[in-house]
Amino acid sequence: MIDEREIWACAHQLMKQHGVDAWFVASQRADALLAEGKMEGHHTFLRILERIRQLEQMLPEGAVH
């Protein structure tokens, strides 16, 4: 299992790379992993999605990466 620090780092990197689309990109990956039956990866991306949501809440209104 990936530790919490790595989950935060992944969420931050996705936001840096994809900006406002980070949540969408991560959710697509989570869905793909679920479809492939890769449950550990799916659960990891669900954790990343939650961290992206938390990071987005910290941003000032209208901020874009």
Per-residue pLDDT band for 55 (boundaries 50, 70, 90) equals: very high
Looking at per-residue pLDDT, the higher value among 1 and 50 belongs to 50
Rounded to whole angstroms, what are the CA distances from 12 to 4, 24, 49, 56? 12, 14, 11, 10
pLDDT > 70 in the chain, percent: 92
The domain spans of the chain are: 4-56
Q: What is the pLDDT of residues 21-49, one digit of tens each?
A: 999 999 999 999 999 999 999 999 999 99
Residue partners of 18: CB distance under 8 A and separation at least 6: 24, 25
Tokens 């994809």 sit on residue: 18
Q: What pLDDT shows up at residue 1?
A: 79
Residue partners of 19: CB distance under 8 A and separation at least 6: 64, 65
- pLDDT of 62 above 70: no
